[in-house]
């Protein structure tokens, strides 16, 4: 379950950020502080986007920065940053949600990716997710969606 990877410490809601890079850095902060990832993993995610383009733009208004486990994942974890006012991404699409996924191996992500895809492919649920404005509502929505 996605909620197993999350808790309130890994959910953040802010009104704005200066850039998509700062959004990724803020989203990574809880995982860095709790030793889920290293600074190398954060740098790798940023470098990958700069090199490969907007491949992390997984749904309208949503990016999922990630990199290979060997680039600095210490334990599987996930964090979410909601940016209420949005921020332009490199493809000029406005981003409101940064879902950071750090998984220890290539196989464990399949279950979590399937759950995320189910959530994000449902337009009503995705819109509800993009509309939350505080951590409590975000947490309640994720719990509701998983039931």
25-40: pLDDT as tens digits? 999 999 999 999 999 9
Contact call for residues 20 and 32 (beta carbons, < 8 A): no
CATH number of 2-146: 3.40.930.10
Mean of the pLDDT values across residues 45-73?
93
Confidence class of residue 8 from pLDDT cuts 50, 70 and 90? Answer: confident
Specify the residue for token string 């996930």. 78
Mean of the pLDDT values across residues 84-110?
87
Domains of the chain: which residue ranges?
2-146
Cα separation, 116 vs 97, whole angstroms: 13
Q: Please give the radius of gyration of the chain, using alpha carbons only, rounded to the nearest integer.
A: 14
The residue annotated as part of the active site, out of 42, 45, 64, 66, is: 66
pLDDT, one tens digit per residue, over 98-119 is 999 888 887 766 676 777 777 7
Whether 66 is a known active-site residue: answer yes
Mean of the pLDDT values across residues 114-143?
86
* Among candidate residues 56, 50, 53, the one with its CA nearest the CA of residue 99: 56
pTM assigned to the model? 0.90
Cα separation, 135 vs 10, whole angstroms: 10
């Amino acid at each position: 379950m996605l909620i197993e990877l999350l808790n309130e410490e890994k959910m953040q809601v802010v009104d704005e950020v200066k850039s998509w890079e700062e959004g990724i850095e803020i989203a990574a902060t809880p995982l860095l502080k709790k030793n889920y990832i290293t600074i190398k993993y954060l740098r790798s995610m940023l470098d990958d986007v700069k090199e490969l383009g907007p491949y992390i733009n997984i749904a309208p208004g949503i990016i999922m920065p990630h990199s290979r486990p060997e680039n600095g994942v210490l334990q599987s974890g996930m964090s979410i940053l909601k940016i209420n006012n949005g921020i332009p991404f490199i493809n000029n699409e406005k981003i409101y949600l940064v879902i950071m996924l750090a998984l220890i191996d290539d196989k464990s992500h399949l279950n979590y990716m399937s759950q995320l895809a189910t959530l994000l492919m449902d337009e009503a649920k995705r819109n509800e997710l993009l509309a939350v404005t505080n951590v409590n509502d975000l947490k309640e929505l994720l719990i509701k969606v998983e039931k």
